């Protein structure tokens, strides 16, 4: 009689975590940072059809790295949950915190019960009336949640990206300044200068009347980056 193959629960969890981390690290990076009027998302993403940054609800945005089909499933589920809650109760009852909690439960269940964990890392951000009211939640593949402030980086070479963010980010950045900081950080992680064709960007703008999410198209990014390169040293 053969002896059943045994793997300890600790080893299974470790193997799943290592597998997910490797998949995420192979993806292109995303940077999320606060600016004077809200939250900026900048991603290395040359595709114009497959988005890594999206709107979830009126004042809530979503960004992700990892396997597209997996984080797209999460995004769609989040939109449906937000729509149902806003319709059944009130639009103000849809919050970034409630969505982050729902995502945490889903990712935690998949990580512990499924044979393969999701190779994703996501951010749910909600813009408030002031910078102090902004909420940025980072969720990892195992359902862990972190309440972030100021800036964060996911995927790719995050150490190099965070070095630039730490050196260049400051409170009260204007939109163009914040985008340039995000692009500079992503360029450091990619080890090459990124231009508008390599990027996807969006903002949650607290000054907009209801729907705070706005995409920055290639023309917007080109204008911001060209203005940066045209500025004389010291500006």
pLDDT tens for the 235 residues of the chain, in order: 566 677 788 998 999 999 999 999 998 999 999 999 999 999 999 998 999 999 999 999 999 999 999 999 999 999 999 999 999 999 999 999 999 999 999 999 999 999 999 999 999 999 999 999 999 999 999 999 999 999 999 998 899 999 999 999 999 999 999 999 999 999 999 999 999 999 999 999 999 988 999 999 999 999 999 876 655 444 4
Total domain count, the chain? 1
Write the CATH number for 155: 3.60.20.10
Quote the domain boundaries for residue 214.
Answer: 23-230
Q: Is residue 109 part of a domain?
A: yes
Residues 6+ positions from 117 with CB-CB distance below 8 Å: 16, 17, 19, 20, 110, 111, 141, 142
Q: Look at residue 14 and tell me if it is in a domain.
A: no
Give the per-residue pLDDT at 44.
97
Residue 111 in any domain: the answer is yes
Asked, for residue 9, whether it belongs to a domain, the answer is: no
pLDDT given at position 200: 97
**Position 168 in a domain:** yes
Q: Is residue 7 part of a domain?
A: no
Q: Is the separation of the CB atoms in 201 and 42 below 8 Å?
A: yes
pLDDT at 232: 47
Bridge partners (DSSP) listed for residue 64: 122
Q: Report residue 145 as tokens.
A: 């949640």
Residue 68 inside a domain? The answer is yes
pLDDT score of 231:
56
What's the whole-model pTM score? 0.92
Q: For position 112, what pLDDT does the model report?
A: 94
**Residue 13 lies inside a defined structural domain of this protein:** no
């Amino acid at each position: 009689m053969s002896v059943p193959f045994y793997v300890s629960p600790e080893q299974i969890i470790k193997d799943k975590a290592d597998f997910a981390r490797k998949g995420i690290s192979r993806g292109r990076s995303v940077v999320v940072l606060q600016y004077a009027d809200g939250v900026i998302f900048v991603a290395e993403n040359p595709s114009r059809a497959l988005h890594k940054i999206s709107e979830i609800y009126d004042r809530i945005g979503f960004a992700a790295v990892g396997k597209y089909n997996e984080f797209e499933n999460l995004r769609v589920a989040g939109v449906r949950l937000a729509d149902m809650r806003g319709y059944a109760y009130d639009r103000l009852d849809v919050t970034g915190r409630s969505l982050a909690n729902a995502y945490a439960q889903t990712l935690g269940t998949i990580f512990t019960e499924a044979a393969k964990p999701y190779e994703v890392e996501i951010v749910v951000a909600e813009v408030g009336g002031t910078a102090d009211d902004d909420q940025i939640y980072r969720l990892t593949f195992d359902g862990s949640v972190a309440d972030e402030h100021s800036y964060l980086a996911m995927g790719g070479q995050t150490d190099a990206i965070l070095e630039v963010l730490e050196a260049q980010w400051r409170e009260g950045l204007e939109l163009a300044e914040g985008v340039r900081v995000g692009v500079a950080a992503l360029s450091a992680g990619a080890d090459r200068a990124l231009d508008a064709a390599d990027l996807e960007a969006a903002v949650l703008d607290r000054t907009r009347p209801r729907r705070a999410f706005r995409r920055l198209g290639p023309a917007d990014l080109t204008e911001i980056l060209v203005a940066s390169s045209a500025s004389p040293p010291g500006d």
